[in-house]
Amino acid sequence: MDEDLQPSHVDRLAIAKQRMIRYDLQGRDIRDPMVLKAMARVPRELFVPAEYYACAYDDRPLPIGLDQTISQPYIVALMTQVLQVDSNCTVLEIGTGSGYQTAILACLAQEVFTIERLEALAKRARSSLGQLDLDNIRLIVADGSLGWPGPIQFDRIMVTAGVQQIPGPLLEQLRTDGLLVAPVGTSSLQTLTLVRKRPYGITSQAICPVRFVKLIGRHGFQD
Ligand code: SAM
């Protein structure tokens, strides 16, 4: 083919993103138009290491260094959809990782508070997020199993690393009638679980089996 007629690198990514939206998200059970819009808006290639640009829209997790991963697009969309985030919500995210999920949440929420344990990942996530037109994100480096420092509560909480049980401080920081989503199980296999805080206690709903890296911290797994 004439070189001028070959799709450019940018075109190839745009085509791959459209394919992801259509087949990997809409083709499964992602129906929320706001979630689909956010997934279309955020460039995943910005959040993956350069050697993975070409497969940025493959529906799989990819390595981001330090034995951590950027989550699979379908799971990012699913977790966002079940959390029912809207522009009135303040959201706490535990496990910033690459910052990709943070960006998706920030497209939908009033404000996103995100905590990453590893300084090097937080630094890279800050730089990637800084390239987007989003000014509603607060990112700190800390043990997220302890929650956000200080007396604050959130409408929604998303945990993006596996836990054996929901850390108590996170349940305390969830507002009554708020929603929390987390992978709950062992270090190698978890069930994506949606928790609702009611005035009389907690209800939880199993969504699907998932495999996440461990949440390491005081109320998580040991290092
Ligand atoms: N959602 C992220 C993305 O889109 O790139 C992927 C998150 S990755 C699967 C899980 C992240 O949780 C890792 O970056 C890991 O360092 C972080 N993590 C593990 N334990 C943590 C803790 N106690 N507090 C905060 N972050 C933690």
CATH number at residue 63: 3.40.50.150
Per-residue pLDDT tens listing for the chain (223 residues): 455 556 677 789 999 999 999 999 999 999 999 999 999 999 999 999 999 999 999 999 999 999 999 999 999 999 999 999 999 999 999 999 999 999 999 999 999 999 999 999 999 999 999 999 999 999 999 999 999 999 999 999 999 999 999 999 999 999 999 999 999 999 999 999 999 999 999 999 999 999 999 999 999 999 8
Closest atom of ligand 1 to CA, residue 70: 5
Kindly give the distance from the C-alpha atom of residue 125 to the centroid of ligand 1, in angstroms, as a whole number: 11
Tell me how far apart the alpha carbons of residues 177 and 50 are, in angstroms, rounded to a whole number: 41
**Under 8 Å between Cβ of 113 and 93:** yes
Closest atom of ligand 1 to CA, residue 216: 20
Question: Within a domain: residue 202?
Answer: yes
- Joined together, the tokens standing for residue 82 give 């079940």
Residue length of the chain: 223
Question: Within a domain: residue 215?
Answer: no
Question: Within a domain: residue 64?
Answer: yes
Name the DSSP letter for residue 44: G
Question: Within a domain: residue 222?
Answer: no
Q: Is 105 in the pocket of ligand 1 (CB under 6 A)?
A: no
* Predicted pLDDT of residue 214: 96
Kindly give the distance from the C-alpha atom of residue 160 to the centroid of ligand 1, in angstroms, as a whole number: 6
Question: Within a domain: residue 217?
Answer: no
Question: Within a domain: residue 13?
Answer: yes
Closest atom of ligand 1 to CA, residue 144: 24
**Under 8 Å between Cβ of 107 and 182:** no
- The domain tally of the chain equals 1
- Residue 45, domain extent: 3-210
Q: Is 98 in the pocket of ligand 1 (CB under 6 A)?
A: yes
Question: Within a domain: residue 221?
Answer: no
- Could you tell which of 45, 117, 143, 211 is best to mutate to test the pocket of ligand 1, judged by most ligand atoms within 8 Å of the CB? 117
